[in-house]
Amino acid sequence: MVRKIIRDSIHGDIFLSALEVEVVDTPEFQRLRRIKQLGLTNLVYPSANHTRFEHSIGTMHLAGKIADRLNLEEKDKNLICLAALLHDIGHGPLSHTSEELLARYLNISHERISIETVKNSDIATILERYGIHAGDITDIIAGKKGYMSKIISSEVDIDRMDYLVRDAHHTGVGYGIIDLHRLINTIELFDGNLVFNSGGLRAIEGLLVARFLMTPSVYLHHTSRIADAMFLKATEYAIQEGIIDFETMIKFDDIEIQSVFRRSAGYVGEIGERLDLRRLFKKVVVKGWHDISPVLREKIISLREDVERIRKIEREIAEEANVGEEYVIIDIPPEPEYREMDAVIEKNGKIVKIEEESPLVSILKLAQKSYWNMGIYTRRKYVGKVARVADNIESFFE
């Protein structure tokens, strides 16, 4: 029996069952209202203030649509919808902005935290009261339930179907427009695998293009990268100085972490004020994929997880430039990779990779590299001093 209707800016009316309403009303889920979907991207696009809360509900809505398309039993539909609703409940403050800290300090993903949250909160009790075992939900989130897990997380899943459209809408860019109806209505089960029939090829290509264009415009926008890098380094300082501990911090919402920054003195407080007032560091050096040799590029990317080595290079640059080491930040994005390009379709009774049917995929695979840029950032007044040292950045990574 439907208990509530939510009016969503993307999908229109979304219907929640009594169980889903109870889950949404838990403190753990309500916390998502205070976690921005795109972290600090609102410093670039002022209207990008949408949250994980509406994204999670939108993803649940799409899960129900696909369950209906596949004619799943009501029990399986409920499980998939609940998994979609809860798949992001473990996100830390500012969403993916804190994702690197999860891996760095706890060697854990937000998916793992989502699983632990579902199992160890009142959500598990609510599920049990409706005859649903929490483990059935977490197994879907963990990728252990075949096509049911693929609906939530795969090459072309409901997570990205929702966030591409939602992020485009709230940033105001015109690149994230995809044919959701066609994607959903061409999805099928084939030999137990989740595939698209050949009629969905153009819709998948549309999603690929949308993702490709959204990456430099929104997800890797240089100003967002600078803000993220400032937040990450200041958070590391806060942890090292005992201002916060990481296990507590990952349970914060955006307001709580920003309050910690505002109450702090020294570098942490300064960065908090800079983020509040949008007085961001400036680019000193930017090196693109084709600006450096393949050997050096591979070496730089491999250092991305070696935080100590990166901090050492920052200190070396700062020392030569005669500025404080906290004012030199090296930002190395991950190597460009789009899982969407591994999507498969069913054609004439066989599963075929989309790249075998679409020449567009090979073009995008090559073109995506142009969006990778490593950067060095510093305070505006130090740009000249740091630039004279960091311009030959290759020497620091040899």
CA-to-CA distance for 233 and 191, rounded, in angstroms? 48
Instruction: State mean pLDDT over 207-234.
Output: 93
Instruction: State mean pLDDT over 126-135.
Output: 96
Model pLDDT for residues 357-366, shown as the tens digit of each residue: 998 988 888 8
- Identify the pLDDT of residue 307: 84
Element (H, E) at 367: helix 359-367
Three-state SS at 129: helix
Instruction: State mean pLDDT over 85-95.
Output: 93
Question: C-alpha angle with apex 226: 252 to 230, nearest 5 degrees?
Answer: 45
Residue 108 lies in a domain: yes
CA-to-CA distance for 221 and 214, rounded, in angstroms? 9
Alpha-carbon torsion (91, 92, 94, 99), positive or negative: negative
Domain count, the chain: 1
Residue 205 lies in a domain: no
Residue 60 lies in a domain: yes
Model pLDDT for residues 22-43, shown as the tens digit of each residue: 999 999 999 999 999 999 999 9
Q: Which of 381, 95, 105, 114 is nearest to 228 (CA)?
A: 95
- Identify the pLDDT of residue 193: 87
- Identify the pLDDT of residue 106: 72
- Identify the pLDDT of residue 4: 93
Confidence band of 385 (pLDDT split at 50, 70, 90): very high
CA-to-CA distance for 102 and 114, rounded, in angstroms? 13
Q: Output the domain CATH number for residue 43.
A: 1.10.3210.10
393 Cβ contact list (under 8 Å, min separation 6) = 285, 287, 376
Residue 153 lies in a domain: yes
Exposed e or buried b for every residue in 186-217, given b needs 16+ CB within 10 A? bbeebeeebbbeeebbebbbbbbebbbbbbbb
Residue 75 lies in a domain: yes
Model pLDDT for residues 195-220, shown as the tens digit of each residue: 999 999 999 999 999 989 999 999 99
Residue 4 lies in a domain: no
Model pLDDT for residues 175-191, shown as the tens digit of each residue: 888 999 999 999 999 98
Instruction: State mean pLDDT over 84-91.
Output: 95
Domain span at residue 108 reads 18-172
- Identify the pLDDT of residue 150: 93
pLDDT of residue 336 exceeding 80: no
Instruction: State mean pLDDT over 339-351.
Output: 85
Model pLDDT for residues 297-334, shown as the tens digit of each residue: 888 888 887 888 999 999 999 999 999 999 999 999 88
- Identify the pLDDT of residue 164: 95
What's the one-letter identity of residue 127? L
Residue 325 lies in a domain: no
- Identify the pLDDT of residue 1: 53
Confidence band of 2 (pLDDT split at 50, 70, 90): low
- Identify the pLDDT of residue 129: 96
Considering the chain, what is the average pLDDT of its residues? 92
Element (H, E) at 256: helix 254-263
Residue 148 lies in a domain: yes
